Structure 1
Amino acid sequence: MEIYKLTNVPDTLYYIPNFITIEEEEYLLSCVNNVPRTRWVQLRNRRLQNWGGQPHSKGMIQTESLPKWLEPFTERILKLENQTIFPDHIFQFNHCLVNEYESGQGIMPHTDGPVYHPIVSTISLQSHTVIEFYRPIDSNNKEDVSSFSDRCIARVLLEPRSLFMVKDDMYSYYLHGIEERQEDTINRERISNFDRCNDNIKDKDEQILLRTTRISLTIRCVEKISKLPVGLLRK
């Protein structure tokens, strides 16, 4: 896994291009799209599917297992397991968030919070995007009013069929988000994983990539789960 680790950013990001094949991408897209319409939740800037259960401040209400069609891919991720990536104790993914972003849509900078184990894996389907990481505002420094663009410390190109893994400080300390834009400028100076991308990216000094509809499978582990109603958990 060390060959996939990005060394020009704080700890820790891993980027694996071509983690799945074109045929596997088509299979996953068919599984995502052939669900009842009620499975989708429409938000202002994207729509999503929630698999495994409903996370909340104290853990997750587990309502189901992850779908069978996802299992071969979670197992493949877990085969990457070593002490660098996954913890020594038994680790199993139990939550997946499927996000659909149309061209021009994104998500505000945020952290995923302490509900999840601090390892997140994302498979990208159909279109690329660029995810950006930001230094948080220093709460002890009232003069720190830097904009998000000034606080950006890394930009990672997520190509279709790639696997992106985030852990350590990049998960728990730095914020991450996707700017709302329809195209991305890709060059060595701007993109932190430029040298880890496919040859059609690395072979050009600079290019403009147009975004289309992107599906992301964000696969995580919620350590505290319960089948009790949320109301009982609050007592």
Structure 2
Amino acid sequence: MSNCDLICNAEYQVPVQVYNPPVSKWKSLKNRRLQNWGGIVHEKGLLPQELPPWLKKVTEKVSEESGLFPSTINHVLINEYLPDQGIMPHQDGPAYYPVVAILSLGSAAVMDFVPHPSLRTSPDTSGGGCEDNELNGVSDSGSDKWLNNHRPFSVVLMPRSLLIFKDDAYSSYLHGIRDSSIHQYDGAVNECEAVGPQPPSVSEEGDEAVSSGNGKCIHRTGTRISLTCRLVLKVHHKLFKF
């Protein structure tokens, strides 16, 4: 797993191309809205569409500089999160090559990684649903035990950062972002990056990283844009036949 700056200072702001498409290009979900680029992903593969030039430039840079994809990235989801929005813990599924690159722009956020429920060795006694319990318990109180030393962990998604995860982080963990305007990052694997050389500002949107009685927190005040870049290996240039 790596987490580094991809966009230089001159490209600090969210690209205007994100908001150039018509409203119909956006798909509104319960806790965010998104744009789908690259084609339709189906269980049988990808029915491809050409990426716009600006996105192609981004994906080529990610592919070349990471060296982790066997061929050029061909699918991108652009997600827009308001300050109190997130995404439930999930895995990306078998259609994709098992490497994910997430470029973060705008507001900062914390992404939680929780071992897959199949790796839990102690029963869940909290009485809630599986997904909610995983996010609420990401700090790991010690009541849960996990196989093969798997433990929950968090990553601070800083503006302009590129998070890439693969291998065990892809196949054995769920990842998600809490539906909250305040994100705690105590113990995050890149905790020191949340403050940086000039605290407390951590994003161009005016977010703040502060310490309080509840621990170290990021107060999300602006919109976060993420570009989730992935590779679908099976590509079909003709319509699927059933």
Equivalent pair of 1:183/1:209 in contact (CA under 8 Å): yes
2-structure distance, mates of 1:72, 1:227? 22
Structure-to-structure mapping, 1:2-151, within 5 angstroms: 13-16=1-4, 18-26=5-13, 28-62=14-48, 64-82=49-67, 86=68, 90-138=70-118, 143-144=123-124, 147-148=133-134, 149-150=136-137
Unaligned runs of 5+ in 1: 1-12
1:193 to 154, 173, 190: 190
Equivalent pair of 1:123/1:162 in contact (CA under 8 Å): yes
- CA shift in 2, pair 1:201/1:159, >3 Å: farther
Give the RMSD, CA atoms, in angstroms: 2.5
Deviations 1:133-191 (A, max 9, x none): 001213896835573133551110001111110110101110000010001234xx421
Equivalent pair of 1:15/1:196 in contact (CA under 8 Å): no
Indicate the SS of the match to 2:117.
coil
- CA shift in 2, pair 1:25/1:71, >3 Å: farther
Q: Measure how far apart 1:40 and its partner are.
A: 0.6
Deviations 1:48-90 (A, max 9, x none): 000000112221111x1111012332222223244xxx25xx4
Which residue in 1 is equivalent to 2:153? 154
**Poorly superposed stretches of 4+, deviation over 4 Å:** 139-142
Number of corresponding residues: 210
2-structure distance, mates of 1:71, 1:25? 18
TM-score normalised over the length of structure 2: 0.78
Indicate the SS of the match to 1:71.
helix
Deviations 1:109-138 (A, max 9, x none): 010011100111111111111000001213
2-structure distance, mates of 1:140, 1:154? 15
2-structure distance, mates of 1:193, 1:200? 16
**Which residue identity lines up with residue 199 of structure 1 in the other structure?**
P
Unaligned runs of 5+ in 2: 127-132, 140-151, 201-208
1-structure distance, mates of 2:73, 2:6? 18
**Which residue identity lines up with residue 21 of structure 1 in the other structure?**
C
TM-score normalised over the length of structure 1: 0.80
